[in-house]
Amino acid sequence: MKTSSVRLKSQLMHESEECYLENHSNNDPEEEPPGKHSISTDLEEEPPGKTATTRYRFFRDIPDNIWDDWKWQFRNRITNIERLAQFIPLSAEEQAQLKLVTMRYPLSVTPYYLSLINPDDPDDPIRKQAIPSALEMTMSSMGVEDPLGEKTDTVVPGLVHRYPDRVLMVLTDICPMLCRHCTRKREWRNGGWVQSPAEVETMLNYIGQHEAIRDVIISGGDPLTLSTHRLEDIISRIREIRHIEIIRIGTRFPVVLPQRIDKELCTMLANYGPIWLNTHFNHIREITPEAAEACDRLLRSGVPVNNQSVLLRGINDSIKAQTELCHGLLKIKVRPYYLFQCDEVQGTEHLRTPVEAGIKIIEGMRGHTSGLAVPTFVIDLPQGGGKVPVQPNYILAQTESELLLRNYEGRIFRYRNPTSSACPESPAEVLCPADSTTASLPQNQVPIQVRRSSK
């Protein structure tokens, strides 16, 4: 399937002759030697008002105009362990282990995202998303390569048609950062491809011939890896198909390389709406001024931004972490949309949490903060079963005529079900135990002590 695709990755990675960082290389003998002791803990040089990151520790020689150039960031991704060790303290043994890991699951992290990591904290939640772990190999027997069965639903190369009215266009396998929890980790070994114009044409023909399709999701890899010009070619062609109502773009660029969301891109997107953008913040520390500005540019261009986070062990698997994240998202006008149970992908088992953890988090948020801040917790079922919302159980008992519901405080309420005329009473608060009326719900045959609410 990929043999006719355009080999791009190596080309992109070797475009760096004029690369500033290479001219100011960390291998420059005038620089401090790499390793643990070269990493200063002094952040006092950071200009006030800037993101609290290590940019000014590791990249202080990079002027703003170069730092803000997304192509520079892309060309200068950290892709090998030797270079990583110039920023993150790694023992010789750790380096040897991680080199083995990257032979199977490569490394790629942008200087921008690297600068969000606290290099002195092995448990840093940003680090765990970007830096390989030996556990990717030691637990790799657990899980499967393609848990969602995307290959089965692929109708023409790169086009997944699972639901009648939606299709997924996978345009590339290249991402600016390789997230350690990625569902498409299986694609990383394929060496970096972009669908050729002929392959895109085949996808467009399929979409044009199936009038039930009203929603096209452009994804990858990360589709914003393509040039704005190439993206416009594809998006404008999709817009010419009369039965397509909306286009969605799935991208992590606002999080890992927000500089990509530039004026040129936003102006282009504004011409082809309605376009929705789904991104992937997992932790409050990813919501930097740069990320906020990127989302703001999208919103001002008429592109609504939703967030799909993944529940990850030791990264965001607490009520506090999720609440902070979702409050932070609302402040930058990004809607918390989905919280995904981490898929059972080979090489991600160490980051997966029990399903109960997600349910408890939603339970700890629902009612304690605005409903707008509470994402829908979903499991994407294996073998293409689709997304299933998994929620705390608020229905304690139910008959045709009434329900017993508990609220976020644990108080229990009786609620008359209007589909039946059997229960003429208005909602009542149920107190257990109580000393007045006794009622029962026949389905469960459990006597319930009730008292009319004083409200």
The nearer residue to ligand SF4, 181 or 414, going by C-beta atoms, is 181
Residue (98 or 441) nearer to ligand SF4, CB: 98
Question: Of 147, 140, 186, whose CA–CA distance to 350 is shortest?
Answer: 140
Separation CA 407–CA 449 (nearest Å): 17
**Segment interacting with ligand SF4, rule: CB under 6 A, options 115-123, 162-170, 177-185, 395-403:** 177-185
Does residue 179 interact with ligand SF4 by CB under 6 A? yes
Residue 252 amino acid letter: R
CB of 82 to ligand SF4, least distance (A): 22
Instruction: Supply the minimum distance, in Å, between the C-beta of residue 222 and ligand SF4.
Output: 5
Q: Helix, strand or coil for residue 279?
A: strand
Residue whose C-alpha is closest to residue 272's, from 297, 245, 253: 245
Contact call for residues 209 and 241 (beta carbons, < 8 A): no
Residue 63: both structure tokens together: 């002027």
Evaluate whether 134 touches 105 at the Cβ level (below 8 Å): no
Rounded to the nearest whole angstrom, what is the least distance from the CB of residue 176 to ligand SF4 in the complex?
A: 8
What's at 344, amino acid-wise?
A: E
Mark the segment that binds ligand SF4 (CB under 6 A) among 88-96, 217-225, 295-303, 367-375: 217-225
One-letter amino acid of 423: C
Count of chain residues binding ligand SF4 (CB under 6 A): 9
For the bound state, the minimum distance from the C-beta of residue 279 to ligand SF4, rounded and expressed in Å, comes to 9
Note whether 414 binds ligand SF4 by CB under 6 A. no
The conformation of residue 375, written as its DSSP 8-state character, comes to P
Question: Of all helices (H) and strands (E), which one includes residue 21?
Answer: helix 20-23
For ligand SF4, which is the closer residue by CB, 119 or 250?
Answer: 250
Query: What's the Cα-to-Cα distance from 68 to each of 63, 72, 177, 446, rounded to whole Å?
Result: 9, 8, 17, 65
Among 146, 199, 222, 286, contact with ligand SF4 (rule: CB under 6 A): 222
Among 184, 260, 283, 350, interactor with ligand SF4 by CB under 6 A: 184
| Dist. CA 186–CA 149, nearest whole Å | 12
Q: How far is the CB of 182 from ligand SF4 (least distance, A)?
A: 3
The CB-of-237 to ligand SF4 minimum distance in angstroms stands at 23
Segment near ligand SF4 (CB under 6 A); pick from 59-67, 220-228, 298-306, 311-319:
220-228
| Residue whose CB is less far from ligand SF4, 34 or 125 | 125
**What torsion, rounded to 10 degrees, do the Cα atoms 97, 99, 100, 105 define?**
120
Three-class secondary structure of residue 254 per DSSP: helix
Question: Which position among 107, 109, 167, 178 is part of the footprint of ligand SF4 (CB under 6 A)?
Answer: 178
Beta-carbon contacts of 48 under 8 Å, excluding residues fewer than 6 positions away, are none
Distance CA 166, CA 247 (A): 10
Q: Nearest approach, Cβ of 339 to ligand SF4 (angstroms)?
A: 15
Q: Is 175 in the site for ligand SF4 (CB under 6 A)?
A: yes
Of 182, 204, 234, 326, the residue at the interface with ligand SF4 (CB under 6 A) is: 182
Are the CB atoms for 390 and 355 separated by under 8 Å?
A: yes
Active site residues: 162-163, 166, 175, 179, 182, 184, 343, 380, 387
Specify the stretch interacting with ligand SF4 by CB under 6 A; choose among 8-16, 174-182, 204-212, 396-404.
174-182
159 vs 179, which CB is nearer to ligand SF4? Answer: 179
- Asked if 159 contacts 390 with a C-beta cutoff of 8 angstroms, the reply is no
Binders in 250-269 for ligand SF4, by CB under 6 A? 252
User: Toward ligand SF4, which CB reaches closer, 55 or 252?
Assistant: 252
**Of 158, 221, 347, 358, the one binding ligand SF4 by CB under 6 A:** 221
Structural element, H or E, at residue 365: helix 355-365
Among 6-14, 175-183, 262-270, 354-362, which window interacts with ligand SF4 (CB under 6 A)?
175-183
Angstrom distance (rounded) from CA 171 to CA 2: 11
Interacting residues toward ligand SF4 by CB under 6 A: 175, 178-179, 182, 184, 220-222, 252
